[in-house]
Structures are given as C-alpha cells and as structure tokens.
Amino acid sequence: MKRWRRSLAFALALSVAGALASPAARAQDAPDEEAQEAEDEAPPPVQQQKGRRKVIPARVDVGGKDRRATAADAKGGPSEKDRGKAELPVEERAARGVAIIERGGQVLGLGALLAGDGRILTALSPLGAGNDLTARLADGTTVRVKLGHHDRAWDLALLVPQTGKWAEGLTASSRDPVRPDAQIRSFTATRGKVAAVPLVLRSHRSLIGGDDRQLEEAIELGSRISPLDLGAPIVDEDGRVVAVLGRGCAPNEGKPCTPVAFGAPISAIRGFLRTVPSTAVQPAAWLGIQGVSEASQVAKGVRVTVVHPESPADEARLKGGDRAGSDMILAVDGVPVTTPEALADAIRTHAVGEKVPLTLLSGGKYRQVTVLLRAAPDPKAAASKKPEAELPPPSSSGKATEEYRK
C-alpha cells in the first residue's frame, strides 16, 4: 500500500510540474502551424532526456522581419514602397495620377496621366494660346510639356512631357457613372496639392461643344466646378476614370447658350486617343556614341568608337577611338549589353532627363559613370529655327466664368 501511495504521489508531482511549465516552453512544444501549412514540414523530433521532454528546433530564423521581407521580394512579391501605396485610400492613389497644368507658375487646370504612358489628358480651353506649359506631378516636380493633339469640340488635349516619365497613371472605367449608387469624385488643386472632392453626375445629355459642334452623350454635372479644375479626371469608386472635365454650352430655346462644365465620357476619350498622331510621343533618350560589339578575355560589351561632341556621353567623359584607348560599355543601369542594338534598347527604356549609371571597362580597369540623358538634336529643326507651334485660339463658345452650375 505504501509503495502504491508513493507512485501516485510521484505521478501527481509530474502532472503539477507539467502544468506549471513556462509559456515559452509550451509554445516551443507546440508545432508552428503556419510554417507547417506553408512548407509541409514534419513535426520537430522529440528526445527523451532524464524523464523530461526536449524539443529540437527544426530551423533557426535569423533576421526576423528583414529575412521574411527578403524572401517575399525574392519570390516577386510587392516591395515595401509598393505595399505602402497599395494601402492608401482609393482617392489618394488616384490623386497621384493627376497633374497640375501651369504656365509661369500660374495654375491653368488639371490633367490625368495615362497609365503606363506618361502623357497627360486634359482640357483644351484653359490652356489659351502659346506654349510654355509645365505639369506639376504628385511629388512636386515640374516637367515641361507640349501639346501633342487636341479636339476643340470635346475640349480635349493631350500633353506630351519632354523629360521624365511618371509611372503612376490612371486607367479607364467600364462602369456606368450615372447610376443611383455611384460614388463619384473629381479633383481640385489647393496650394500645389491635388485633393479628391465629391461630384454629382445627373445624366447624359446633348450639349454644344467647340466650333458649335453637337456633343452627344455628354455627362451633365450637378456640382459647382471651378475653372481651375477643368481637365481633371472624374473617377469612380475604384479610382478609374469615367470622364474628364471640359467646357461647353447648354442650348437655350431662342437664347444664347449658357457656358457649362461637363464630363467628356470614356467613349469620346477613346475616340480622341485613337486619332493621336504618331509624332505625339515623348522624345527618345540619346546617349551620343557609336560603337561595335567586342569581347575581351574578361568581358563582353560595346566598344565606343565615336563620341559625339556635346552629347551626354561627352559630358560624362566617355572615350572613343581605337581598342587601346577607348571605353567598353558593359551594362546600362545594371543591365548587361553586348551589342549596339542591345545598348540602344537599354537607353530607350529610360527617359530624357534621367541620370543613368554605365558600367565601363577601359585599360583593364572597371569604372562606373553617370550620364544625364537628353533628346537627340534635330538637325532640321536647328537649321530652320522655326518658333514652336502655338496652341489654337480658344473657341468662341467657351467663355470663362467663375463657376459653372448645371
């Protein structure tokens, strides 16, 4: 009986000891369900050591969050910067695709950057006559822009940046913007910043556009619009463009038409973009060298034979000429190039105004230089020295007013 009691007391002691084990030890004993589910690992092996249970870790995680972030990046996951943008509210993300159109620092209107394109869709009427236009982007930088295409009837214009390429553009919506449950927004500029504002859309109706042309299916607005907001995109709940703010006239029976703001619908915008001339593109970046493919004992690349005077390559002091004294270009911004065609393609992926690193081999030594890309000089334009084409004069039916009400 005494021996039975001693056995029972020993068993109870072991139970109490197990119940009082530290939370860390219990957590170590529990299998990592998330890791096991993701990687299909077997449970960690268990050893018995003097009557106590010991868990041998299956792996050691060195680096914590940094290591997990690196693994996500290696698998092609979004970077921290991209995740930060994705967490922004829809209207704030859309606002990054809106530019402020200026002349001499004075705001003229707004514009929508086309996704994956960099060109800016805006209203024609606020631009007036003459060029000297700039676009202020979401990060506060300004780029010079030129008129590439226009439609006076629908009050649309396409502006082509002459430097850089803004990647965060907007896309078109396929949803009907004039519906009872729609949550529509447009944009306004305050102190150099773009902000979303609610907008009421009433219906589709016929209006009179520039050159007294009839506009079918124009979107009638139910909100007041400032003239400085013309050209702004109108977006739906997903931040996709349903129209662009323009200026037209509402017909009155037996009276002059009333100037109003309206929305140029996606159907009109698509028709406008289909007619853009092939010349309305951003200038191609230019390095300013001639070269040939060459392979040495240590590397392959493009050997520079000629450096054009006053070119980006000349300013970066690239050396051309014979094999002994010239540079060999091995990579453009980390991308290897082994032929003149590959070099040209690599340069074309960058925009005018960008600073691009080149990896060079010369005299048996590697070095890196940074070139500031520019547009190639146009011999015909330099010879003729013609002034820049001016914007068309405003339509007679587009009179400016402080506010437009539908």
* R_g of the chain, CA atoms, integer Å: 32
Position 84 scores a pLDDT of 53
Position 194 scores a pLDDT of 96
Closest CA to 287 of 249, 241, 340: 340
Position 300 scores a pLDDT of 94
Position 86 scores a pLDDT of 59
Closest CA to 241 of 250, 249, 232: 232
Distance CA 364, CA 380 (A): 41
Closest CA to 136 of 153, 155, 116, 161: 161
Position 30 scores a pLDDT of 39
Residue 253 amino acid letter = E
Closest CA to 345 of 334, 355, 332: 332
The CA angle 141-246-404, to the nearest 5 degrees, is 105
- Give, in order, the Cα–Cα distances in Å from 318 to each of 71, 89, 199, 284, 322: 39, 47, 55, 20, 13
Tokens representing 162 are: 């002459």
- Give, in order, the Cα–Cα distances in Å from 47 to each of 29, 34, 43, 51, 57: 12, 23, 13, 10, 12
Query: To the nearest 10°, the Cα dihedral for 251, 179, 96, 153?
Result: -20
Tokens representing 28 are: 């170590």
Residue 76 burial (CB count, 10 A):
6
Which residue stretches of the chain have pLDDT < 70?
1-86, 379-406
Position 202 scores a pLDDT of 95
Position 191 scores a pLDDT of 86
